[in-house]
Chain A
């Protein structure tokens, strides 16, 4: 695991104050008592992600993996220019549906997060949140060189350079931008990976949770959320 870009490491001396709505406060109950509210603790589950073992029997796990591979539900979350490249996949020309691929509007029902281009730090926060809200097992696919090494944003002041430092990427699709055919190929490769039982990014994330968090917090200045977004 490489270290994060040191170019825009946040200055540890200037603490970004917590947002007003997340600050602990006192609230008066209807009976007139004062109670303490700590939004981050009271509103959000604080549990850390668990490493989920594979199914007890190999054949069952293989069967599950086959199903997972043939039912890839993509979170409709577009970043960067790659989002444009994803749309044609739904059209008659490419028709990704025939591979069991479909788009879901909510992370809860999606397994595959496609980071379709560069991620600014601001968007990274949202991407992390969306990723963490997806149920395991879940996969991340990075589109284009931006997610691999920053691409044309290699010296940008607020674009992350290596997605892998922040989220466990299962599959990169190279190109700037990769065409839909490349994407389809990427999906096929991802299916193969899953079928081989190697699509364990979520467990990787849970195992190295502290490392990932450290990386994420190093670049995200206003960390106004719990460590893990259930």
Chain B
């Protein structure tokens, strides 16, 4: 087992534990976020367990249809992308339990594995034959080309700064004081990456791919029942997994689940807050936004490192 250094079966249990915690955290957190949104709007809002109920309801649906093999596999790709991303990133710094399988690769693996689910989902949506799905994918891909750019630049600046691509080492370098966090040592890279963060969270103003009420909901138009359940699971898991990366890279990581919960929540709220006060961008508008703001900041960040 040279490929799996120090592999023990218990690691799988640890990883499942991480997965369990993160999914539940995601379920509750997204519900809480929605509830906060409702309260801000003067509504009571959904119950915090609503996500569980919806999930269960979808699994409990009786009739299902399938448009074909790729359609069937789309949600599988999607969830594998989310779970895999979580598995490839150390969740809690210093905890042997929650390193997951991060020895499989480094930051680059995480950055590229983000696309795994996107690609599979896009393919599945494509096979449904629904034009709205294709339109949604077209928009989403077009937007992501530029949205990922500031992140790539920020990460490049960051890895130049720390001279490593290993997430654990990057987190380790930020320990000690809050001022060791990248957000303070390298604010430009952080800002650049956060632009990308906001841009890829599928929230307003960058939610033109889903565009509810316009092209119904884009790629998942044809998905329902357990397919949708898998996607819902991913929908709560994936943003958290992604936020974990940002947390690890820019905000000192987390040494405990409590710190994890707070940091992820705060980061997540950034995109929520921006989202509730901004109307939706069209694709070319958001691309211009990234070119106008994300790109210069990113370039600056790689130049000053």
Given contacts A92-B43, A98-B45, contact A67 B221 (CB under 8 A): no
Are A97 and B60 in contact (CB-based, < 8 A)?
Answer: no
In whole angstroms, what is the CA distance A151 to B223 when docked? 37
A95 interfacial contact with B, CB 8 Å: yes
Given contacts A70-B53, A71-B53, A106-B221, contact A64 B60 (CB under 8 A): yes
> Which residues in B have their C-beta under 8 angstroms from that of A109?
220, 223-224, 228
Digitize A102-124: 1 where CB-to-B-CB distance is under 8 Å, 0 elsewhere: 00011011010000000000000
Residues of chain A with a CB closer than 8 A to B38's CB: 95, 97
CB-defined interface of B33-52 with A at 8 Å, one 1/0 digit per residue? Answer: 00000100111111100100
CB <8 Å contact, A230 and B65: yes
| Interface mask (B209-232 → A, CB under 8 Å = 1, otherwise 0) | 000110011001111110010000
CA distance A92 to B43 in the complex (A): 4
The answer to whether B47 and A108 have CB atoms under 8 Å apart is: no
Answer whether residue B17 sits at the interface, using C-beta atoms and an 8 A cutoff.
no
Within the complex, which residue of A49, A67, A105, A111 is in contact with B217, where a contact is CB–CB below 8 Å? A105
Known: A100-B53, A109-B228. A136 touches B61 (CB 8 A): yes
A135 and B224: CB pair below 8 A?
A: yes
Residue of A nearest to B56 (CB): A67
Secondary structure dominating the interface of A = loop
Within the complex, which residue of A49, A55, A98 is in contact with B44, where a contact is CB–CB below 8 Å?
A98
Q: A97 to B53, Cβ gap below 8 A?
A: no
- A49, B63: Cβ atoms closer than 8 Å: yes
The answer to whether the Cβ of A7 comes within 8 Å of any Cβ in the partner chain is no
Flag if B224 contacts A108 (CB, 8 Å): yes
B292 within 8 A of A: no
CA distance A100 to B47 in the complex (A): 8
Is there contact, CB below 8 Å, between B61 and A71? no
* B100, chain A: closest CB distance, angstroms: 31
The residues of B that contact A98 with a CB separation of less than 8 Å are 43-47
Contact A50–B63 (Cβ < 8 Å): yes
- A96 shortest CB reach to chain B, Å: 10
Q: Which of under 10, 10 to 19, 20 to 34, or 35 or more describes the interface residues of A?
A: 20 to 34
A137 within 8 A of B: yes
Q: Bound state CA distance, A205 and B160, in angstroms?
A: 65
- B221 with A108: CB separation less than 8 A: yes
Answer whether residue A52 sits at the interface, using C-beta atoms and an 8 A cutoff.
Answer: yes
Partner of B57 from the list A50, A52, A71 (CB cut-off 8 Å) is A71
Q: Does A213 contact B (CB under 8 A)?
A: no
| A108 lies within 8 A of B57 (CB) | no
For A45, the closest partner residue in chain B by CB is: B65
Residues of B within 8 A of A45 (CB): 65
B56 — which chain A residues lie within 8 A by C-beta? 63-64, 67, 71
Kindly identify, within residues 25 to 48 of chain A, every residue whose CB is under 8 Å from any CB belonging to chain B.
45
Any chain B CB within 8 A of the CB of A68?
A: yes
Q: Closest CB-CB distance, A82 to chain B, in whole Å?
A: 19
Which residues of chain B have C-beta atoms less than 8 A from A202's C-beta? 62-63
Asked whether B217 lies within 8 Å of A106 as measured between CB atoms, the reply is yes
Establish whether residues A100 and B50, one from each chain, have CB atoms under 8 Å apart when the complex forms: yes
Contact of A95 among B43, B221, B228 (CB under 8 A): B43
Bound CA span A97–B39, Å = 12
Chain B residues whose C-beta falls within 8 Å of the C-beta of A63 in the assembled complex: 56
How far apart sit A105 and B211, CA to CA, in the bound complex (Å)? 11
Candidate in A49, A109, A136 with the most chain B CB atoms within 10 angstroms: A109
A97 with B45, Cβ < 8 A, contacts A52-B63, A135-B64, A137-B61 known: yes
| B169 interface residue (CB < 8 Å to A) | no
CA–CA, A92 and B221, complex, Å: 28
Q: Is B259's CB within 8 Å of the partner chain A? A: no
A196 to B222, CA, bound (A): 30
Among candidates B42, B60, B212, B228, residue contacting A92 with C-beta atoms closer than 8 Å: B42
| Chain B residues whose CB sits within 8 angstroms of the CB of A137 once the complex forms | 61-62
Q: Indicate whether A97 sits within 8 Å of B46 (C-beta atoms), given known contacts A64-B60, A106-B217, A135-B225.
A: yes
Complex CA gap A111/B63 in Å reads: 12
- Asked if A136 contacts B53 (CB within 8 A), the reply is no
Encode contact with A along B14-45: 1 for CB under 8 Å, 0 otherwise.
00000000000000000000000010011111
- Residues of B in contact with A (beta carbons under 8 Å apart): 38, 41-47, 50, 53-54, 56-57, 60-65, 212-213, 216-217, 220-225, 228
Q: Lowest 10 A-B CB distances belong to which pairs?
A: A105-B216, A92-B42, A52-B62, A71-B57, A64-B60, A108-B224, A136-B63, A67-B56, A136-B62, A95-B43
Give 18 new A-B contacts, CB below 8 A, not counting A98-B43, A135-B224: A52-B62, A52-B63, A55-B60, A64-B60, A67-B57, A95-B38, A97-B43, A98-B46, A105-B221, A106-B222, A108-B223, A109-B223, A109-B224, A111-B61, A135-B62, A135-B64, A136-B62, A230-B65
